[in-house]
Amino acid sequence: MYEFIKGTVEFVGPEYIVIENNGIGYQIATPNPFIYAGKIETMITVYTYHYVREDLIALYGFETREEKKLFTKLLNVSGIGPKGALAILASGEVQQVVAAIENEDESFLVKFPGVGKKTARQMILDLKGKLQDIVPDYFPNLFNADQLSLNTQGSNTAFDEAVLALKALGYSEKEIKKISPELRKEQLSTDQYIKNALKRLLK
C-alpha cells in the first residue's frame, strides 16, 4: 500500500520512529530505530511495508528497498513474524544470515531471538536459492556509527536506550545483564552499544 514515506523524523524510540508528513505522524517500526537518532527534524525517506492482520495493523520501515525485500522474504517463512524478522535484520549481519541459509548452517540461525531449530530449518527450506536478488549488491552495515553522534545526555542514557532496544528485540534481562559489564567499559552511542551487544549475544 505504501512504497515509502518521505518526511521529517519527529521521534526515535527503542521500537519505532515517528515520521511527520503533511501534518500526519506515521509510527514506523524499524530494525534499529536509533540509526535515526541523529536525524531529528531531518527529511528522510523510509521504505515501508504495511502489515495487516486481524489484531494488528502496522507500518514497518527500512533504509533501502533491498532491506525491505529481505524483510518480506523472511515473513514468508512459517514461524517468523514481523518482530522476528526485524530482530534478524537488526543484527547487522545480513551477509552471514544469507550465507547461513545457503550453507544450511542452523547453528548460526538459532542464535536469533525466537528462532529455534524448527524455524531455522524452515528458513533454509523456504529461502535457500531464493535470495540472489538481494545478496550480490546488498551487504550494508546497518549500524553505521557515522550516522549517529554520541548521545548528548551521557553514556548512561545511551546504554539505557540500548537495553530497551535489546529487550524490544526479544532478549531477556538475564542475557543482557550477562554482557553489560563488558559493554559499560566504553562510552559509546546507543547505536554502537546495540551493535556491540548483538555481536556478543550472537556468539
Q: Which domains does the chain have, with CATH numbers?
A: 4-62 (2.40.50.140), 66-127 (1.10.150.20), 145-201 (no CATH)
Q: What are residue 122's DSSP bridge partners?
A: none
Which of 193, 201, 203 is CA-nearest to residue 171? 201
> Given this model, what pLDDT does residue 152 score?
33
> Given this model, what pLDDT does residue 144 score?
37
Q: Is 13 left (phi over 0), alpha (psi -120 to 50) or beta?
A: beta
> Given this model, what pLDDT does residue 169 score?
84
Which of 34, 36, 14 is CA-nearest to residue 165? 14
pLDDT per residue as tens digits for the range 112-134: 888 999 999 999 999 988 887 77
Which of 113, 96, 114 is CA-nearest to residue 105? 96
Q: Tell how far CA 128 is from the center of its chain.
A: 21
- Cα 97 from Cα 77, distance rounded (Å): 14
CB 26 within 8 A of CB 19: yes
The helix (H) or strand (E) run that includes residue 124 is helix 117-127
pLDDT per residue as tens digits for the range 50-84: 999 888 899 999 998 888 988 999 999 988 999 99
